[in-house]
Amino acid sequence: MTSTRTEAAAWLRAVPAGGPTSPTRSGLVVHPARRLSELVQGRPPGITGHQWSTAIRELLDQVVCAADTGWPVFAVAFAPPAEPGSPARRAERLTGTVCAAVGLPLLRVESATLRGADHGRRLVEYVIDARAYAAGTGPDGGDAVGFRDILGRLPDGRRGPVNDLGALARAAAVAGYVDRALADPILRGLHVRWTGGPAEGWGWVEVRPGRCLVERVRLDVGRFSCGIDPGRLAEDLAALAVGERLRDLAAGEPPLVARDEVRRQIRALAARRDEADGGFAFDHLYAD
């Protein structure tokens, strides 16, 4: 879902040309690091003064606008994990409420490893291409295969899904195993989408026998859609985060989690399957 000019005209304002932007892509241009206050005009009905004053100070890592008009289409924000009830979590919730009220779809990525400055542009370009493909305006528009499932040549020479954001990390895991830097070549993962809530993706690889490097990514999508299931996108981003951590192995071993503890945590997720949209499809990952 995207904002239309009619919907946005009352509360959103065009982002003026100038400053650092990405090249036009599918009729869109990307502006880095904009505060919500730069995108809105006036407080919409139903938003309290406290909600408003908190949200408009929030920094959005990437703001995607129509290249011809400058009207915001969607935004992406990265944040480190926050505890429930913390000030950061409250600010996140208020920002989501205000973005929904003004008609700005917001994709929020919560990760301990991924950062807007380092990974924001790549993710934005990816979802722009995915949206265009889903709308039938991409180079392969009209194909029944989903964007994430398009097959081609992978970095390690195998054939597989070329639009898997974790493809390089999966290849790195195999290479690390061959070089005896990892105990297992498979980068495993799972995802779940909580009913009425965020999507959650996990990725992990066994670095030492029985000891795993684990990454988790939480996606709040709100009104945002790019044609890719949010759970799968979260899992791919978790794999991407694992790949970032694998690059630093030479500098020192990262904190690892016991394989049995990973399985215990997966069982805990499985026990909440009734809370998940679509259930839980990863019981095989904790089987003995």
Same-domain check for residues 127 and 17: yes
- Residue 139 scores a pLDDT above 60: no
Only one residue has tokens 């898997």, namely 164
Residue 75 lies in a domain: yes
Q: 175 CB contacts (<8 Å, ≥6 apart)?
A: 156
pLDDT in tens, 30-76: 999 999 999 998 888 888 888 888 888 899 999 999 999 999 999 99
Same-domain check for residues 33 and 64: yes
Are 234 and 200 spatial neighbours (Cβ–Cβ below 8 Å)?
yes
Same-domain check for residues 162 and 208: yes
Residue 276 lies in a domain: yes
Residue 6, CA distances (Å) to 2, 183, 191, 251 in order: 12, 56, 36, 52
- Show the tokens assigned to 237: 């981003």
Residue 21 lies in a domain: yes
Task: Write out the residue range of the structural domain in which residue 121 sits.
Answer: 5-134
Only one residue has tokens 């392969």, namely 140
Burial class (CB in 10 A: 0-12, 13-18, 19+), 65: buried
Q: How confident is the model at residue 4 (pLDDT cuts 50, 70, 90)?
A: very low
Residue 140 lies in a domain: no
Same-domain check for residues 112 and 14: yes
Same-domain check for residues 128 and 169: no
Same-domain check for residues 28 and 74: yes
Same-domain check for residues 197 and 238: yes
100, 134, 168 - which closes a domain: 134
Same-domain check for residues 201 and 258: yes
| Cβ count near 181 (within 10 Å) | 14
Taking the C-alpha atoms of residue 237 and residue 148, their distance in angstroms, rounded to an integer, is 13
Residue 161 lies in a domain: yes
pLDDT in tens, 253-277: 889 999 999 999 999 999 999 999 9
Count how many domains the chain has: 2
Residue 178 lies in a domain: yes
Same-domain check for residues 166 and 116: no
Residue 162 lies in a domain: yes
pLDDT of residue 9: 53
